[in-house]
Amino acid sequence: MKISFIGAGNVAWHLAQAFEKANHSIVEIYSRDKKNAQKLTEKLYNATPTDRLDFSHSKSELFIISVPDDAIAQVVSELKCPKNSILVHTAGSKNLSVLEPLPFTRKGVFYPLQTFSKGKPIDFKKIPICIEAENETVEKILQKLAFTICDNVCFIESEDRKTLHLAAVFACNFTNHFMHISKNILEKDGLNFNMIKPLIEETISKALSKGPENAQTGPAIRKDTNTINSHIEKLSFNVDWQNLYVLLSKDIQSI
């Protein structure tokens, strides 16, 4: 397929290169700041960088909006695409309907359920790509496209995609934050975060293999009140973390 990207962030960065490897051709990369678009086109065979949202005369059949979730509405309000081209966004938290202001396109969602960073290579093969489309024809085109880069394609409607996104916030953003808190607690006492890395790796491996509901350990699940109280006391330097510790311990005991 001939594909253009609206956005040159982490998702576009990896997706554009994966599509090119799978013999699709990337036509344009848009970014508000043309320099960002250019950084990505330099990684591609023959794509043109641009900072204009008028694609009326583009040769692309598919336009992929991969800007920050909150910027989609603004981009859509300015975007011009060829009649009958396919327009998708890659956002976990946004409805298909956010694309409605562009009536002459065929619409869908192409949501790779993964976290991307520019510096870190990604193997798309194992990543679930969640597809939604306004009709079956578009659904099939997007499905076929997804299968050219990955093995795991699912059809997920907007409401379920929101559920996935919410679940990911708990399992990823909040767990990352707890590792951040953990690192701060260690460094405050001159200890190195590296020390607990093997423990974290094993914890996650256990949770994923036997299920988190069978993998819980620690003072809360043991109802070890002495340890819980001594931890709360040790957290006296940060009332918010004390509060989180109490709530989490209670929730672990009640689930």
Return the closest-CA partner of residue 96 out of 125, 121, 130, 50.
130
181 binds a copy of itself (CB under 8 A): yes
Of the two residues 22 and 113, which places its CB atom closer to a copy of itself in the complex?
A: 113
DSSP secondary structure string, 195-239? GGHHHHHHHHHHHHHH-GGGT--SHHHHT-HHHHHHHHHHTTT-H
Strand order in the sheet with 106-112: 48-50, 25-30, 2-6, 62-65, 86-89, 106-112, 128-133, 152-155
Stretch that binds a copy of itself, among 20-28, 55-63, 100-108, 194-202 (CB under 8 A): 194-202
Beta carbon of residue 245, minimum distance to a copy of itself (angstroms, whole number): 8
239 binds a copy of itself (CB under 8 A): no
248 binds a copy of itself (CB under 8 A): yes
Calculate the dihedral angle through the C-alpha atoms of 152, 157, 160, 165, rounding to the nearest 10 degrees. 70
Ranges within 69-98 binding a copy of itself (CB under 8 A): 69-70, 93
Beta carbon of residue 125, minimum distance to a copy of itself (angstroms, whole number): 10
204 binds a copy of itself (CB under 8 A): yes
185 binds a copy of itself (CB under 8 A): yes
158 binds a copy of itself (CB under 8 A): no
